[in-house]
């Protein structure tokens, strides 16, 4: 296989990608003893040139057969991932780091599964031929461990300088080899802050449909990873989501987005169409350090609006109860993607309560404590969700309302000043047992005892009484009728 363009494949290093490490030198000496050559490839080369930290380093060895590999790494901790793949995970003797070492290979997809690839491993293939099978030019640069020079047959160094994502060779061919590359392109936009080459953008648009043929586990992993780059910029996430909308990938990944794409919300508080409000809120969450769960909830939080729309006499649209419909839709989306149950449950909690609290209205300590308890340990993320949602509005809900960022900071400070068990208190944590309640009140076993216990929990959460046995017993003496109100 020889797909390298007619250009000088080896170029001088513009700057050291990183100083030669002990692993580099040890690996090189081992391989050279058997007449081979060693290169660093992939993300380690790319990220070093960009000044990014990358703890994973991949190496390529040419001119050494599979049979010789046992001798090259004799005495090391070696895990052969697959003999046909020619891929090893190795901890060299005396080193702590596990590295990936591969022999040159070509591969192409024979299906949509993670292992649906036809692989040809050939130690005599050139490094250029191995690089030709990679996805993007910025990932198809190798560093020769002996000379320190870069092997760049596809212009990856220039694309790094231009901050450009471009498929190696023919874009359509790269996607046919592995359809997951459609989603990987958008993920790299977030991670690296790069833009798409026009040819790449066109190929992604025309191949968005392949997303539905991928195993949902792979789709979920790409989406989840995209939302969990803590150092990515708001602009990078927004650009990737905009590209996914324009190319149809987001609608293929989450079919519920079909109903919200281009949807005019007909309210003075929203200047964006519904899908752009949700993606904008997600990007705003990135800017304030929201968790991956929160950004996922922001991406889904208003899916219930079209089904709950009503129009008032003044012509404005209202969406009463859309958060409850949105919970069901988000659950459906995440069930289909096979998201972890904990993530699914937390997203539902955030969406269910996302309309509570507003900078336009004072938030009392009692209200804040109830909010905290309803969110449990997610209360800070709930506040971030609300602030990011507001950030993606047309402006302040009311004149004079504080900036969402200032409002968020104030509420988090106030929340952290509340008693430690405010957000986690349940009946199990109440310092008065059901038996003690019966002794204090004279109530017989039954429903009323449980009602009193539940009511006491709320009173503690709201700050009406301390969670101690003495304080709770005294509180019962004067407030029992109030606690029993409504119980037959």
Handedness of CA 392, 396, 402, 403 (dihedral sign): positive
| Separation CA 398–CA 268 (nearest Å) | 11
pLDDT for 53 equals 84
Mapping DSSP to helix (H, G, I), strand (E, B) and coil, where does residue 207 land? coil
Alpha-carbon 144 to chain mean position: 34
Say if residues 459 and 475 touch (Cβ distance below 8 Å).
yes
User: Which class does domain 10-160 fall in?
Assistant: alpha beta
Decide the pairing of beta strands 317-318 and 310-311.
antiparallel
The arrangement of strands across the sheet holding 87-91 comes to: 10-11, 150-151, 142-144, 37-41, 58-62, 99-102, 87-91, 77-82
First to last CA, the chain: 82
Give how far Cα 169 sits from Cα of 138, 253, 455, Å: 12, 26, 67
What would the two tokens of residue 404 be? Answer: 């969402």
The Cβ of residue 223 has, within 10 Å, a number of other Cβ atoms equal to: 22
CA distances from 165 to 156, 178, 187, 215, 477 (A): 9, 17, 11, 25, 71
Residue closest to 415 by CA, chosen among 371, 459, 374, 384: 371
Task: Decide if 379 contacts 408 (C-beta within 8 A).
Answer: no
How far is Cα 126 from Cα 61, in angstroms, rounded to an integer? 10
d(CA 127, CA 31): 15
CA–CA distance, 124 with 35 (Å, rounded to integer): 12
Number of Cβ within a 10 Å radius of residue 321: 12
Tokens 């209205």 correspond to: 361
Residues in the chain: 488
Of 238, 216, 218, which Cα lies nearest the Cα of 227?
238
Domain ranges, ordered by start, for the chain:
10-160, 176-416, 427-483
Query: What gap in Å lies between CA 6 and CA 409, rounded to an integer?
Result: 57
What residues have CB less than 8 Å from 400, skipping those under 6 apart?
none
Q: For residue 216, give the nearest of 163, 261, 180 by alpha carbon.
A: 180
CATH 1.10.260.40 fits 176-416, yes or no: no
Structure tokens at 63: 């001119």
Structure tokens at 366: 């009692």
Cα 488–chain centre separation: 49
Distant-in-sequence, close-in-space partners of 4: CB < 8 Å, separation ≥ 6: 128, 129, 131, 132, 153, 154
- 27 three-state secondary structure: helix
Q: pLDDT tens track of the chain, all 488 residues?
A: 344 444 444 555 555 556 778 899 999 999 999 999 999 999 999 999 999 888 888 999 999 988 898 899 998 998 887 555 678 899 998 888 899 999 997 665 555 544 555 666 788 889 999 999 899 999 999 999 999 999 999 999 999 999 999 999 999 999 999 999 999 999 999 999 999 999 999 999 999 999 999 999 999 999 999 999 999 999 999 999 999 999 999 999 999 999 999 999 888 778 889 999 999 999 999 999 999 999 999 999 999 999 999 999 888 889 999 999 999 999 999 999 999 999 999 999 999 999 999 888 899 999 999 999 999 999 999 999 999 999 888 654 566 678 888 999 999 999 999 987 888 899 999 999 999 999 989 999 988 899 899 999 999 998 899 999 999 999 998 888 888 874 44
Q: Where are the beta strands (DSSP E) in 66-216?
A: 77-82, 87-91, 99-102, 105-109, 117-121, 142-144, 150-151, 164-165, 195-196
User: If we measure between CA atoms, which residue out of 16, 43, 38 comes closest to residue 27?
Assistant: 38
Check residue 5 and give its pLDDT. Answer: 43
How far apart are the C-alpha atoms of 322 and 309, rounded to whole Å? 8
Strand partners, 109: 117
């Amino acid at each position: 296989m020889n797909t390298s363009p007619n250009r000088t494949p080896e170029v001088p290093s513009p700057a050291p990608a990183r100083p030669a490490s002990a692993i580099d030198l040890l690996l090189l000496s081992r391989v050279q003893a058997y007449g081979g050559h060693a290169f660093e490839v992939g993300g380690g080369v790319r990220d070093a040139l960009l000044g990014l930290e990358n703890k994973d380093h991949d190496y390529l060895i040419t001119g050494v057969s599979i049979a010789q590999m046992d001798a090259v790494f004799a005495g090391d901790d070696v895990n052969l991932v697959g003999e046909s793949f020619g891929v090893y995970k190795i901890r060299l003797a005396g080193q702590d780091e596990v590295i990936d070492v591969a022999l040159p290979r070509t591969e192409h997809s024979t299906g949509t599964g993670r292992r649906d690839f036809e692989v040809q491993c050939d130690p005599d293939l050139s490094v250029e031929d191995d690089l030709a099978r990679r996805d993007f030019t910025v990932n198809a640069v190798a560093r020769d461990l002996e000379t320190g020079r870069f092997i760049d047959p596809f212009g990856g160094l220039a694309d790094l300088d231009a901050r450009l994502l471009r498929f190696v060779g023919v874009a359509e061919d790269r996607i046919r080899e592995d359809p997951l590359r459609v989603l990987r392109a958008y993920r790299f936009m977030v991670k690296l802050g790069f833009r798409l080459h026009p040819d790449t953008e066109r190929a992604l648009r025309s191949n968005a449909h392949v997303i539905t043929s991928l195993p949902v586990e792979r789709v979920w992993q790409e989406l989840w990873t995209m939302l969990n780059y803590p150092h990515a910029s708001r602009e990078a996430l927004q650009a990737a989501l905009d590209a996914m909308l324009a190319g149809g990938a987001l609608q293929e990944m989450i079919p519920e987005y079909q109903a919200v794409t281009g949807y005019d919300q007909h309210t003075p508080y929203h200047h964006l169409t519904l899908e752009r409000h949700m993606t904008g809120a997600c990007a705003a969450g990135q800017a304030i350090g929201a968790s991956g769960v929160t950004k996922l909830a922001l991406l889904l939080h208003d899916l219930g609006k079209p089904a709950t729309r009503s129009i008032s006499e003044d012509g404005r649209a209202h969406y009463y109860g859309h958060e409850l419909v949105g919970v069901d839709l988000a659950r459906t989306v995440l069930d289909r993607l096979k998201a972890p149950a904990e993530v699914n449950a937390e997203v539902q909690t955030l969406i269910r309560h996302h309309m509570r609290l507003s900078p336009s209205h004072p938030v009392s300590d009692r209200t804040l404590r109830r909010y905290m308890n309803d969110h449990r340990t997610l209360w800070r993320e709930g506040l971030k969700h609300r602030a990011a949602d507001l950030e993606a509005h047309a402006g302040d809900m009311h004149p004079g309302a504080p900036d969402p960022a200032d409002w968020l900071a104030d509420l988090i400070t106030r929340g952290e000043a509340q008693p430690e068990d405010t957000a986690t208190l349940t009946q199990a944590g109440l310092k008065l047992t059901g038996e003690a309640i019966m002794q204090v009140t004279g109530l017989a076993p039954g429903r009323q005892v449980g009602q009193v216990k539940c009511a006491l929990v709320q009173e503690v959460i709201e700050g009406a009484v301390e969670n101690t046995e003495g304080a709770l017993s005294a509180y019962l003496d004067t407030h029992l009728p109030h606690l029993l109100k409504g119980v037959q």
